[in-house]
Structure 1
């Protein structure tokens, strides 16, 4: 009986590992193929001859992206945007989630605010009213046009609100007895015990802000003000235009090694690298923050 149980446990564990490995390969192989395409020649890519190994290895696509002053300017704009958005998001999310985590008896206007937030999350004014608002506020071609429209992510507020609701009331009562103010209770009691939820919404903020390219297309009329994702999205190789512009023969020779497929693959790789560096730092909090913050007892 014991041997049979152990065999079933080992078989079950083997099946779980096999399924997880299979799913990991399904996710990893397409990305690896994109990396191989980005390092392959345009002829091999056009002939669909690239699998998991680069064909006719070349770094021309990355040279096209990186050897460009505007690339680094756009990179700096994106970094500044992520930092400002993260700071603003975390402050506003925390300050909104704390009072909304209280009962209707403690915060009489709670339901009104919650209904307004849910309505705003489900329905928006649309692209044209948003553009007109930013234009009338004279924020076009400024960093604030990229930061302020997403200053209050309502889903993240609800996630942190539910996490705050799960914090034992005894902790808050003890702090009030010791003479703490509401802000002191928030930042010295609630915030320290809510690191998983806050790290989760911080990850949402970083990933969403970094990957957003559409806002740059709408609110920026000058390429010099593009964030990185918008600038990378706008890159392409047009040999006819380069010939008309009088591009020198050596540069043209290098650019002919690139097709738009190579360049698009390189864009994806460049865009993913910063996220791959940040995600492992916050991943350990991700599951806890999602599970606890999404269910209210």
Structure 2
């Protein structure tokens, strides 16, 4: 019986590994293909000869893309948005999640507050009220409209408050007995012990800011203020923006619509790919093991 159980468990592990490897390959192959196209010649890309390896290797697409002032400016705007937006989002998320993680006896009306936040996640006022609010605040066409219009991501608040609720209550009780207040308990106990959850939420926030494209088109009056994804959207929709902004005719003969788009899309994806490995190790890290002895 034990042998059958062990054999079934090994078969499950093998199947699980094969299945996860298959899913990983499916996710990675399009990115590899995009990278290969960006490094291939115009003739090879237009003839669909490129699969997972560059054909007639060339860096002309990247030279052309990085030589576009509009692309570089959009990239810097997105970097500025992430550097401003992520700390603000995380600070407000923690400040909202901590009190909402308490029991109703500790925070009067706690259940109503939670349902109010959940309601805003399910039902929104719409684009027009949001645009009018940003306009009345005088934030249109500024970097702050991209940062503040979604300063409190409710989904992340729900994730973090549920994580806070699962932390042992004995930790807070011991800290209160020692004279610590809620502010110190939040920053000295809850936040350090919640590193895996905070790392996950931080990654969600980075991806949200980096991949957002519609708010740039909605709130920016000038294409010169578009973040990277909004700029890439206009380029993917039409190559005219890129062609009209270029004065290097020789480069245009060596770079096609397809290779230029591939290079821009890969550069736009690269920062998130570089950030992920630094946060991934927190996902499976133990948090409160041994912190409380029942």
Q: Aligned equivalents of 2:67 and 2:211: distance in 1?
A: 21
User: Residue 105 of structure 1 aligns with which residue?
Assistant: 105
**Measured at CA, do residues 115 and 14 of structure 1 come closer, stay the same or move farther in structure 2, by a change above 3 Å?**
closer
User: Residue 271 of structure 2 aligns with which residue?
Assistant: 274
Equivalent residues in 2 for 1:36-75, closer than 5 Å = 36-75=36-75
User: Residue 295 of structure 1 aligns with which residue?
Assistant: none
Among 220, 238, 262, which residue is 2:259 paired with? 262
Q: What's the TM-score, normalizing by structure 2?
A: 0.87
Would the aligned equivalents of 2:78 and 2:210 in 1 still touch at CA under 8 Å?
A: yes
Aligned-residue offset at 1:3? 8.4
User: Residue 215 of structure 1 aligns with which residue?
Assistant: 215
- The one-character-per-residue Cα deviations of 1:128-184 (angstroms, maximum 9, x if unpaired) are 221121112111111111000110000110111011111111111111111111111
Q: Aligned equivalents of 2:263 and 2:127: distance in 1?
A: 29
Aligned-residue offset at 1:100? 0.6
Q: Aligned equivalents of 1:241 and 1:54: distance in 2?
A: 24
RMSD value, Cα: 2.6
Equivalent residues in 2 for 1:99-138, closer than 5 Å = 99-138=99-138
Q: Aligned equivalents of 1:195 and 1:101: distance in 2?
A: 16
Would the aligned equivalents of 2:232 and 2:265 in 1 still touch at CA under 8 Å?
A: no
Aligned-residue offset at 1:12? 4.9
**Measured at CA, do residues 221 and 239 of structure 1 come closer, stay the same or move farther in structure 2, by a change above 3 Å?**
closer
Secondary structure, in 3 states, of the residue corresponding to 1:285?
coil
- 1:173 paired to 2:169: no
Q: Aligned equivalents of 1:122 and 1:5: distance in 2?
A: 45
User: Residue 193 of structure 1 aligns with which residue?
Assistant: 193
User: Residue 284 of structure 1 aligns with which residue?
Assistant: 281
Aligned-residue offset at 1:241? 6.6
Would the aligned equivalents of 2:92 and 2:151 in 1 still touch at CA under 8 Å?
A: yes
Q: Which moved more, 1:7-16 or 1:31-40?
A: 7-16
Would the aligned equivalents of 2:82 and 2:206 in 1 still touch at CA under 8 Å?
A: yes
**Measured at CA, do residues 240 and 154 of structure 1 come closer, stay the same or move farther in structure 2, by a change above 3 Å?**
closer
Q: Aligned equivalents of 2:113 and 2:283: distance in 1?
A: 27
User: Residue 291 of structure 2 aligns with which residue?
Assistant: none
Aligned-residue offset at 1:240? 12
User: Residue 149 of structure 2 aligns with which residue?
Assistant: 149
Q: Aligned equivalents of 2:89 and 2:63: distance in 1?
A: 35
Aligned-residue offset at 1:76? 2.2
Q: What's the TM-score, normalizing by structure 1?
A: 0.86
Q: Which moved more, 1:256-265 or 1:195-204?
A: 256-265
Equivalent pairs counted in the alignment come to 284
Would the aligned equivalents of 1:197 and 1:288 in 2 still touch at CA under 8 Å?
A: no
Aligned-residue offset at 1:9? 6.1
User: Residue 96 of structure 1 aligns with which residue?
Assistant: 96
Would the aligned equivalents of 2:234 and 2:241 in 1 still touch at CA under 8 Å?
A: no
Among 234, 237, 240, which residue is 2:239 paired with? 237
- The one-character-per-residue Cα deviations of 1:24-61 (angstroms, maximum 9, x if unpaired) are 22222222111111122333323222211222333232
Would the aligned equivalents of 1:141 and 1:221 in 2 still touch at CA under 8 Å?
A: yes
Q: Aligned equivalents of 2:67 and 2:165: distance in 1?
A: 50
